[in-house]
Structure 1
């Protein structure tokens, strides 16, 4: 009986092992299309998520990366980093503006032009690619004040800074106004750089470079159908399956030459943003980043105006570092490292200069946020349990320090007038009312409401100048 059970168990283990091996082999042999989702402003968080998605696609040897995009635009630095990663990727990338009602505005237009396959869904649009200053307003042409007549001559080309020769008809067949060139030298530099950048992307993939320039200079837009007709995009697809079917057999330009896509019968595998990306997206939201910057500046100002307050300074330094990260003044690794160092410094400061938890709590918050930001595969892939363990250890240390100091505050004072209260003394004579007692080897004037005899032990209840208020001890003879 035992032999049969052992035999059945062995056969079951062999069957399970064969099944697992078959599943692993099947997964390794699957041809997949990795689908990512970008439905927020382009910033450091989205750039980090996009880079990690490309690395996963290369590890899984995916045939195609599809990025479902719906974005109002974003930061220029993040956009250019994403484009560099896309152009250097060994896996072709298809930017797919989806779902219905989505847009690829501003930075999204550049990403669409840079992709190996540019696709849009019905009822979507792209355009408005004019660069503007962070916060909008009177930045570059198209969003600021209207260009003035009689602007000064541009020494480079002899034309008015806000004027140029008419360019005839635009790419849509409409009468085109003079090209916008900006009102100042800085505006012209930024605008011309953006134009050259998007034209180079268009020429790389054989797309409409003239309309791309118009989108930058005039902030024009196109619907999906118009974009397809004007060779701005490659495909209009109703869903991902339709997209994969339409691009099958299409040739795309890669970093090492052309590649023919083979997208038939691909298994769609999703790589959605994780909690870290969502958290960093909240921090890098332009409104939140601006608010953090204001809190940071005013926190430091209040701390410098009233040294020792600690609360505004602690909140200010953490908010300022987060704002610098959100605006990409600090890269991901430097921002995370700075927050970790600030957090450790605040925790040590709590131990050396007790602030009743302000420095300690601020230090733990800074340490945890910095560790989360630093969780980058290219730098230090820190695990969450380690972050949580160190944070709990720091919190425990801070709690121990606080309880120790609270205990010290409750102890009886050992110096000064307060030390005399409750002390024991000895009556030097018989008296009722005024007399003398010996306390700590010294002769003191004493006053008592009860009669005392010589050698009787008394307790000090109050101190009035150089006179002690005493009462007899209940245990004294």
Structure 2
């Protein structure tokens, strides 16, 4: 009996040891693991790219076991979407795109680059055609490149690329989409074609699907500075900011004191540089170069330097903006727009308002008008008709004497010899015109 009890006790210990080697039960799955939630919201642009880069780096540093990208975006810019897709593909941590509302256009492309796609009921994914800045279909070259990117993203995780291509090209005919329309998938349709692995109402159901029920959860939040960066780095906002900045500073030169135009101009330029610095596109060197440009322009205004300081100042300011921008083409176009608007505004303002600010002190506007008492030469109309004699030869200018008054005169155009009788026929300021008298010739 004693041996039996010892055998039972030994068997229980061995069974417990073997049980501990088995995988954890469903209730214990995910315990001790960390899940990071990263929002992919609003328009896809460079500011979002900077935020996602910071978030992914943070997740890696914190030792996250899984990253969930909560997607809700109508799309955005192709270049930013491509960079974000590269970030997701190169992430060493397993990733899931959880479509909570919309994953359209660039959002669909980003989602396809995640390891898994889970959709919330009522969400949609697709409608990924490329359009240009005017809202029209992009040229064939851009469209072809985008189709290649969509195909590659679909094939990355073994999905049938025909549906990714149908999301971007309305000419592709598939049963799930009416002829001539681009494809947009509902959660159920995405499940049927293999573009979604599950449908989850909330994060709890999502974690159940990922077998991470008891995992620790951490959510990344966009900071206020990053929100500003996302706004001001938008390619549509950049020319507006630069235009406000340049027009504000120019208006300040016309306005007395330092007021609203100057504050608006400096604020707009500060937002431009601050947003690009937060987004990771600019450093302190851009602020320094911009400041040097402003100083050089002030030197040119108050200490004339034959245009050298002005040219260097303008070059420094434009250079600082180019260095701060992520796209040379976009920033040059934005600067040209700002210059055109500023020149037009300056002409209108000068015409209807005039100089009232600092420019009034350095630009000479006064004129020596006769109405204000300034007379350079008096027109002597009272001497018209007087006769006299030439002291010198008139060829046609010379000197003549009238009633013992010596005057500088000119003939009407012909030659008049010395000692000839002449008559004053007109005066205009210092100009006295004479004509030779015929009587003199008879003598």
Say whether 1:333 aligns with 2:281: yes
User: Do structure 1's residue 108 and structure 2's residue 110 form an aligned pair?
Assistant: no
1:274 pairs with 197, 214, 223, which one? Answer: 223
Q: Deviations over 1:379-423 (max 9, x none)?
A: xxxxxxxxxxxxxxxxxxxxxxxxxxxxxxxxxxxxxxxxxxxxx
User: In 2 relative to 1, CA 58–197 (structure 1 residues): closer, same or farther, beyond 3 Å?
Assistant: same
Q: Label 1:80 to 1:314 Cα distance change in 2 as closer, same or farther (>3 A).
A: farther
Structure 1, unmatched stretches of 5+, are: 1-28, 141-186, 249-262, 355-365, 375-477
| Aligned equivalent of 1:220 | 183
2:56 matched residue in structure 1: 54
TM-superposition CA deviations, 1:69-101 (whole Å, max 9, x none): 111111222211111111111111211111xxx
1:243 and 2:206 aligned: yes
Look up the SS of the partner of 1:246 in the other structure: helix
Distance 1:279 1:196 in 2: 33
CA contact (8 A) 1:41 1:73 kept: yes
Please tell me whether Structure 1 or Structure 2 has the larger radius of gyration of its CA atoms. Answer: 2
CA shift at 1:338, angstroms? 2.3
Worse-superposed segment, 276-285 or 89-98: 276-285
Q: Over aligned residues, Cα RMSD in angstroms?
A: 4.2
Counterpart selection for 2:159 from 199, 207, 218 = 207
Match of 1:232 among 192, 195, 217: 195
The corresponding residue for 1:40 is 42
TM-score, with structure 1 as normaliser: 0.47
Instruction: Tell me if 1:132 matches 2:84.
Output: no
In the alignment, what sits opposite 1:83?
Answer: 85
State the Cα distance separating 1:191 from its structure 2 match.
0.7
Quote how far apart the aligned CAs of 1:61 are: 1.4
Task: Say whether the 8 Å CA contact 1:44–1:332 is kept in structure 2.
Answer: no
For residues 280-319 of structure 1, the aligned pairs below 5 Å read 280-285=229-234, 288-289=237-238, 291-292=240-241, 294-295=243-244
Give 1:1-40 correspondences, 5 Å limit: 30-40=32-42
Q: How many residues get paired?
A: 264
Quote how far apart the aligned CAs of 1:237 are: 0.9
The 1:221–1:324 alpha-carbon spacing in structure 2 relative to 1, beyond 3 Å, is farther
Contact 1:38 1:68 in 2 (8 A): yes
Q: Would you identify which runs of 4 or more consecutive aligned residues in structure 1 move more than 4 Å?
A: 296-300, 309-326, 347-354
CA distance, structure 2, for counterparts of residue 240 and residue 347 of structure 1: 55
Counterpart in 2 of 1:169?
none
Q: In the aligned structure 2, how far is the partner of 1:235 from the partner of 1:37?
A: 19
Q: Which runs of 5+ in 2 are unaligned?
A: 1-30, 171-181, 303-316, 326-443
Match of 1:193 in 2: 145
Give, in whole Å, the separation in 2 of the partners of 1:318 and 1:338: 16
SS where residue 169 of structure 2 aligns? helix
Secondary structure at the counterpart of residue 202 of structure 1: helix
**Alpha-carbon distance in structure 1 between the residues aligned to 2:137 and 2:273:** 21
Distance of aligned partners of 1:69 and 1:345 in 2 relative to their CA distance in 1, 3 Å threshold = same
> Within 1, Cα distance between the matches of 2:82 and 2:285?
24
